[in-house]
Amino acid sequence: GEDVEQSLFLSVREGDSSVINCTYTDSSSTYLYWYKQEPGAGLQLLTYIFSNMDMKQDQRLTVLLNKKDKHLSLRIADTQTGDSAIYFCAESKGSAGNKLTFGGGTRVLVKP
């Protein structure tokens, strides 16, 4: 079945880069997503990548996809205290109308 895994926790100093890793098992995944969740709030879509892409950059965010190893990463450059949150990766097949399978979430703590 589908499985998405992430490390539980990441601590980083303000101004450094953060790298959050995710692995998935379903090779038929079409879209891979990164969401951010702040305490008591819903999910905010940060970025997504289509499975035929290797990399996508959007301002401070860089997504790398290694389809062979089924490995996805999110790099946040110049990490700020406002980046402290839980980050979820997720995968889906096909369009946005298809269900998402989420990883367990990585709690990122940015220290000043």
Partner 1 sequence: GAVVSQHPSWVICKSGTSVKIECRSLDFQATTMFWYRQFPKQSLMLMATSNEGSKATYEQGVEKDKFLINHASLTLSTLTVTSAHPEDSSFYICSASGLALREQYFGPGTRLTVT
Give the binding site for partner 1 (CB under 8 A). Answer: 31, 33, 35, 40-45, 48, 88, 95-97, 99-105
Please state the closest distance from residue 15 (CB atom) to partner 1, in A: 27
Distance CA 80, CA 70 (A): 28
3-class DSSP string for the chain: CCCEEECCEEEEECCCCEEEEEEECCCCCCEEEEEEECCCCCEEEEEEEECCCCEEEECCEEEEEECCCCEEEEEECCCCHHHCEEEEEEEECCCCCCCCEECCCEEEEEEC
Q: Which amino acid is at 34?
A: W
97 or 112: whose CB is closer to partner 1? 97
Please state the closest distance from residue 3 (CB atom) to partner 1, in A: 12
79 or 92: whose CB is closer to partner 1? 92
48 or 76: whose CB is closer to partner 1? 48
Please state the closest distance from residue 111 (CB atom) to partner 1, in A: 20
Please state the closest distance from residue 73 (CB atom) to partner 1, in A: 18
27 or 96: whose CB is closer to partner 1? 96
